[in-house]
Structure 1
Amino acid sequence: MKPPIKPRRRRGAGRPLKVMMLGLRGLPRVQGGVERHVEELALRLARSGCSVEILARGPYVERKEPHRWRGLVVTPLPSPRTRSLEAVVHTFVGVVHAARRGPDILHIHAVGPSLLVPFARALGLRVVVTHHGFDYERAKWGRLARVALKLGEWVGMRFADRRIAVSRVIARTMNTRYDVLVAAVPNGVTPQPQPSSVTALRQFGLTRRRYIITVSRLVPEKRHLDLIEAFAHGAPDGWHLAIVGAADHEDTYSRMVLAAADATPGVIATGFQSGLALRELMAHAGLFVLPSSHEGLPIALLEALAEGLPVIASDIPANREIGLPDDCYFPVGDIPALTAAIAQSCASFRTDAQREATRALVGRDYDWDVIAEEVRAVYETISLDQSSEMIPGTLTPLPHPLP
């Protein structure tokens, strides 16, 4: 017989804040911006004294039983590995699991999983939602999926106890669209000493500072085909292009990218990389390019800046928010402009002092330690001793409101 759903309990004096996170595929070593965000955030919340449990999707994690990883509890739950169903099914199972365990905070990430916020609230859970980006704008989704994602955004913004957005652009849009308070708390980086090892470079036949890199999943909004075409026409002799990442679900687009990479001299598709191999590939590159048409606040771009790399990015609002010089941006989809930008950047010399200045700047403005403190401050604004009423739009001001 299954145990009954536990009512939300009062948090006793001195008891750690108990947080569950839901909406990601899993961790560690699972590709994706939401996954990286949750990993960095959860580790710091745990170090600050919170009890943090990650509700992962079973097919994406190596260990299928609940286990501990670096101070976090990782609980794999059932999830069909189909693009249209996995998020909503896993979120439903995760909400039921959370209701039985009774965390102080259920933190749901992304607008798709936010579709279940009213269900979580009805079960007595305190819910914080983080909006990572306008997922319904992604090219991979059909009409029905886009409607479901927009509905997820609406119910998440209207019925969550607290709301966070990873960029000021998203926070302003949500405030205007739904007339709700949203805390703008960005993604971050953790600058580290650059690795001296070049094992990954040797593996893929790359030469230090003589290759362009892009890091992302193989999905249409990342526009890898634009980059491959621009590289073929704009990169100087002796340079390579490393496409780092893989598809969660192999499809026509991912096969087209791999075929184009194979057919274009100098292009290397490395597949998904993590850990030291990824750090080596990022740290020793000569240029980072992000030609995407959709982002929330791109962690890969921030991490490239944290390595001191010169960067080129599409001029979408999420990339513009980072505040790079104008010559770092090009009109999204404009392949001749991207070709010219690549040629100019590859021909320029970037000193070690310039790289260090970039590293220091991004490390100051996008510090994960500060970000974790801001997220915890949002948690603490929720009174865990009061009843949870599903009345949207009546929340008290947040400690880090939209500037």
Structure 2
Amino acid sequence: MTNKNRNYKPKIGVIGLKGFPAFGGSARAGENMMFYLKDEFHFVVFNTNTHTSRKTGTYNGIEQIVYPKFFIGALNTFYYYLRSTLHCLWDGSFDVIHVFHVDAAFIIPLLRLRYRVVSGHRARPQFAAKWSWLVRQYFRFMEWLFFKMPADVITSVSRPVAELFQTRTKRKILFIPNGIVFDEKSEILQIEEKDYVLFASGRIIASKGVHLMLEALVKIGYTGRVLIIGNRSHSPEYAKELDEISKSLNIRFIDLIKDKQLLMAYLKNAGLFVFPSYHEGMSNMLLEAASARVPLICSDIPENKQVFNDDETFFFETGNSTDLAKKIEQVLSNRPLAVEVAQKAYERLKREYNWKILAEQYSKIYWRLIETKKPLNSGDSEIQGNDEYKAG
């Protein structure tokens, strides 16, 4: 393609990343991707003021349109999706629309009436215990709709999900993982605490498995410092459960950290990062911990094992706190081995999960839709997703 020689910047509408600066996984992934492509494309990102303090305007080369929250809080997400869709349909000036999140599947057929659309499968929220039965059924229906009435191009951050659903849709599913922006010039903040066992996530909910980590630490009689970072308000009952389990531990709960530099400071000062999640799409937090070269212990779910192998992290049996306790003892008792394994994870990260490289995959997708105006079906081979840059 001759896209680099174009003398104009195509306009890409982005729906589903509700707020910048990013502090959640999907928003951070989108923000990182756009960081490398903003000189090539004019991005217009639709936000809601429940997720950002910014006003409508252009920031760091990316245009943000910020909507006020809906007066009925439970319907704010629907309001946000519908208002963003109506804006795009009325505006008519976009070249491509990029829809993040499966729960927005219902707007894709509407957007395709006027535009070529890219959609991303980033997680399967129907498996999170925090949602009611009715909401989980909604997520299941949205996932069915996502593949049954698909966008022109489908991507997934999870190779297992791509393989599972490839036979259920006429589109080719491109596996493009999340990544890391390697900024060697970034200032490292200094914090006092060091050598603690750390867990961090945007939301502290049962599916993240924090209770398993605490149970494991209690079993080995751990007396060192423990830090848990994340918003506990999403599941108050679970927060009480964690308080009860951790009574004998030297623990501190820290609210969600939105400042990326401060979060990285906590990661860099950790002696061990534990990631005991039951379900993931592909975790940005896991990648960020690896970028800090902190030793990792992860649940052995397929989404984690697609990222690193047994030489690059320590895996434990998902849901098994006894096995996790053994792995924690192994890491804490053999620091040289832990540091060696962490360095291997970092080297893998730089080779295969660098946003500077991954962003090019989205550039190719956008230009293909702009130039051919054709969907990417399962029999097509113009774009090979993540495998293409590995081979190249």
- Normalising by the smaller structure, the TM-score range is 0.7 to 0.9
1:381-403 deviations in Å (ceiling 9; x for gaps): 214575x8xx9958844412475
Partners in 2 of 1:229 and 1:288 — Cα distance?
A: 15
What's the secondary structure of 1:59's corresponding residue? coil
Counterpart check, 1:166 vs 2:148 = no
SS of structure 2 residue aligned to 1:296? coil
CA contact (8 A) 2:150 2:171 kept: no
Q: Which runs of 5+ in 2 are unaligned?
A: 388-392
Structure 1 residue corresponding to 2:59, chosen from 65, 69, 81: 69
Partner of 2:24: 32
- Is structure 2 residue 320 aligned with structure 1 residue 372? no
1:99 match: 89
Distance between the aligned counterparts of 1:261 and 1:44, measured in 2? Answer: 44
User: Which position in structure 2 is the counterpart of 1:133?
Assistant: 123
Q: CA deviation at 1:53?
A: 1.4
1:3-402 correspondence to structure 2 within 5 Å: 14-28=7-21, 30-47=22-39, 49-63=40-54, 65-80=55-70, 85-101=75-91, 102-122=93-113, 124-157=114-147, 158-193=149-184, 199-200=190-191, 202=192, 206=193, 208=194, 210-216=195-201, 217-234=203-220, 236-237=222-223, 239-247=224-232, 250-253=234-237, 255-256=239-240, 259-260=243-244, 263-273=247-257, 274-325=259-310, 328-350=314-336, 355-383=342-370, 386=373, 396-401=380-385
Q: Which letter maps to 1:174?
A: F
Contact 1:195 1:280 in 2 (8 A): no
User: Contact between 1:183 and 1:402, CA under 8 Å: does it hold in 2?
Assistant: yes
Q: What's the CA shift for 1:362?
A: 1.0
- Conserved 8 A contact 2:281-2:303: yes
Partner of residue 3, structure 1: none
Counterpart of 1:322, as a letter, is V
Using the TM superposition, give the Cα deviation of residue 280 of structure 1 relative to its aligned residue in structure 2, in angstroms: 0.8
Alignment size in residue pairs: 377
Q: Which residue of 2 aligns with 1:4?
A: none
What is the alpha-carbon distance in structure 1 between the residues aligned to residue 115 and residue 189 of structure 2?
A: 48
Residues 359 and 393 from structure 1, CA distance in 2 versus in 1: closer, same or farther, beyond 3 angstroms?
closer
Separation in structure 2 between the aligned mates of residue 160 and residue 24 of structure 1, nearest angstrom = 17
Contact kept, 8 Å, 1:88 with 1:112, in 2: the verdict is: no
Q: Which amino acid aligns with 1:314?
A: S
Aligned residue type for 1:233: K
Deviation, structure 1 residue 117: 0.8
SS in 1 for 2:35: helix
Farther-moved stretch of structure 1 (350-359 vs 370-379): 350-359
Deviations 1:339-394 (A, max 9, x none): 111121111113766644432221111010111100111111214575x8xx9958
Deviation of 1:83 after TM superposition, in Å, equals 7.6
Worse-superposed segment, 93-102 or 260-269: 260-269
User: Does the 8 A contact of 1:261 with 1:267 survive in 2?
Assistant: no
> CA–CA distance in 1 between the matches of 2:217 and 2:72?
33
With over 3 angstroms needed to count, the CA separation of the structure-2 counterparts of 1:39 and 1:366, relative to structure 1, is: same
In structure 1, distance between residues paired with 2:183 and 2:220: 31
For the residue of structure 2 that corresponds to 1:60, the secondary structure is: coil
Q: Give CA-to-partner distance per residue, 1:236-290, whole Å, 9 cap, x none.
A: 43x211111114x543345326634773421111111122211110012111111
Tell me the SS of whatever aligns to 1:350.
helix
Give the C-alpha shift of residue 107 in structure 1: 0.6
Distance in 1 (CA, whole Å) between partners of 2:370 and 2:187 is 49
Distance 1:66 1:374, change over 3 A: same
Q: 1:255 to 1:354 in 2, by over 3 A?
A: closer
User: Measured at CA, do residues 401 and 190 of structure 1 come closer, stay the same or move farther in structure 2, by a change above 3 Å?
Assistant: closer
Moved more, 319-328 or 34-43: 319-328
Query: What percentage of residue pairs aligned between the two structures are identical?
Result: 23
Deviation string 1:209-230 (CA, Å, 9 cap, x unpaired) is x211111121221021221221
| Rounded Cα–Cα distance in structure 2 between residues aligned with 1:194 and 1:229 | 39
The one-character-per-residue Cα deviations of 1:32-54 (angstroms, maximum 9, x if unpaired) are 2111111111211103x211111
Distance 2:345 2:99 in 1: 33
CA positional deviation for 1:184: 0.6
